[in-house]
Structures are given as C-alpha cells and as structure tokens.
Amino acid sequence: MRKSGSTPARQAGSAASAAHRLSTLDRSFRILGGCLNLAVLALAVARLAGSLGPAWHPALIAGSLLAFAAATFAADLTSGLLHWGFDTWFSTTRGPFRRMVSIVREHHTKPDEIFTFRFATDSGMLSWFAGSGAFVLLVLSQTVAAGHPVLVVSLCLAAVVYSVDVSLMFEYHKWGHRRRRGPVPRFLQRCGLLLSPDHHLRHHRGAHDSHYCLINGLADRTLGEWGFFRGLERLITAVTGVPARAEDHAILARLVR
C-alpha cells in the first residue's frame, strides 16, 4: 500500500506550500522589480506634471479619458494573459515563475489562501511586467509624441495607470474574493472599474478555463468571449505540440489510477 505522505495530492500540496517560502535570490529579484517599477512610475508622474501646462487644450480631456480607458484595458488584458499562462502552461516545480504558478494552482482548491500572501512579495514580481509596459509608454512619450503635448500627457497618464494597475492586480484579485467590502470598492465594482465577485466567481466554476482577467474583467467580456484565449492555446499547441494544462492532466491521471 502506498504511504499517504507520498501521494500525488500531497506532492502537489507541498509544491503549493513551498510557494510561501522565498529564497534570498527570489526576494532580491522582487525588490529590484519593485524599485524599477517605482522609478518608472516616478518618471512618468514627473513628466505628466511637467507637461500639463503646455498641453492644455480642449482635446486634452478626451485624450486623457481615452488614455485611462486604454491603459486600464491593457492592464486587464495583461492580468488575464498572466493568469491564463500560469493556469495553462507553466510548472509548479520548475522555472522562474514557479511560485506564482503554485499560488494560482493552489488558489483553485483553496481560494481564501490568497489572503495569506504578503502584498510586497507578489507585487515585486508583478512590478517587472508593470514597469516594462510603463517604460515603453514613457519612451514613446519622449520620442514619437515629442512636439505633441496632448499626446505626451496621454501617454504619460497611460504609463501611470498601467504601472499601478498591473503591480496591484493581486490586490484587485483579493477584492474579487472579499466577503466584506466597503462602499468605495462596492461602488467601483458596480461601475465596472474593479473586479467584482460575481464576475470572478465564474472562473472558479468548472475547469477554471475562463474569466482570467483580474483588474475589472472587461477583456474577458470582449476578447475572452470572442475566443481569444482558446485561440492562443490552439496556436501554441500547434507550434510546440504541448497540450494546454498538460501538468494538470498529468496530476489528475496519477490521482485516478
């Protein structure tokens, strides 16, 4: 008889619990990501503040609203792509994203476990993605948009919104699970600006293969409904020969033997 301590379920659980432990290298990587993102954010805020005066024009209001909406959608899509990637392709035991993958997979069976993870460590990893996207927008504001003050302000605002949203996506995710929420989060959720429990609950039903986005779910209601993620899976499988959710299928196969 197989000892209970060696079952695949316990092995999967031990991989997930290991996600709570960070090596010195992991901590350093997250601290560096957070610092770089904060530096890019500070530069974007400074350039935004310095460009507001020269950029004043009736078109500035429309440009700012469009930049805010576009950056929010881009951040929501980024959160969905990361969540989908961690759910579908990466490993809980190998690679630089193993901790995030473990958190995501464990979350499917223990949803409230996310409240035990510290903001700083998870935001540090996400800050690499947040800072990279914001940096691209900041560079565009210095090059392509040079001489066009309204466009400069719009790109800098988009950089700020993207940087903040992507680095905070794990916190937004938690708001999608909180049973007790204050009036401000409830208002933002009703307005579609923050992930709502009703929307996110649909990810936790069935095979956890839809409704991946964690900022406000708008990318789910558009690209997701149009088959965006399933199309990516078919493309990647066609190119690599690796089926989607291969690790999950392997664990399930061992469990049902």
| Tens-digit pLDDT profile for residues 199-227 | 998 998 877 889 999 999 999 999 999 99
Residue type, 116: T
3-state SS of 134-201 is: HHHHHHHHHCCCCCCHHHHHHHHHHHHHHHHHHHCHHHHHHHCCCCCCCHHHHHHHHCCCCCCHHHHH
Handedness of CA 166, 169, 198, 68 (dihedral sign): negative
Q: Which domain holds residue 123?
A: 7-255
Q: What is the Cα 177 distance to its own chain's centre?
A: 16
Give the residue from 140, 123, 127, 137 showing the smallest Cα distance to 37. 127
Domain-embedded: residue 40: yes
* Long-range contacts of 187-193, Cβ-Cβ distance < 8 Å, separation of 24 or more: 192/216, 192/217, 192/218, 193/72
Query: Identity (one letter) of the amino acid at 30?
Result: R
Q: Is 1 domain-assigned?
A: no
Burial class (CB in 10 A: 0-12, 13-18, 19+), 167: buried
Q: What is the DSSP letter of 220?
A: I
In a domain, 24, yes or no: yes
Would you give the end-to-end CA distance of the chain in angstroms? 13
Task: Give the pLDDT of residue 12.
Answer: 43
Q: Are 256 and 243 in contact (CB under 8 A)?
A: no
Per-residue pLDDT of the chain (257 residues; tens, 9 = 90+): 434 444 434 444 444 445 556 778 878 888 999 999 999 999 999 999 988 877 677 888 899 999 999 999 999 999 999 999 888 887 777 776 777 777 777 788 888 888 887 777 678 889 999 999 999 999 999 998 888 888 999 999 999 999 999 999 988 998 888 888 889 989 999 988 999 999 998 998 877 889 999 999 999 999 999 999 999 999 999 999 888 887 766 665 555 55
Q: Which of 130, 148, 122, 170 is nearest to 41 (CA)?
A: 130
**How far is the C-alpha of 145 from the C-alpha of 7, rounded, in Å?**
58
* Radius of gyration of the chain from its Cα atoms, rounded to whole angstroms: 20
Residue 132 lies in a domain: yes
In a domain, 67, yes or no: yes
Q: 3-state DSSP helix/strand/coil percent for the chain, to nearest 5?
A: 75, 0, 25
C-alpha torsion angle, residues 108, 110, 115, 119 (rounded to 10) = -40
- The domain total for the chain is 1
Q: How far apart are CA 102 and CA 106, in angstroms?
A: 6
Does the residue 22 lie in any domain? yes
The structure tokens 């991946």 sit at: 212
Nearest alpha-carbon partner for 169 in 123, 231, 236: 123
- Is 77 among the domain residues? yes
Residue 2 domain-assigned (yes or no): no
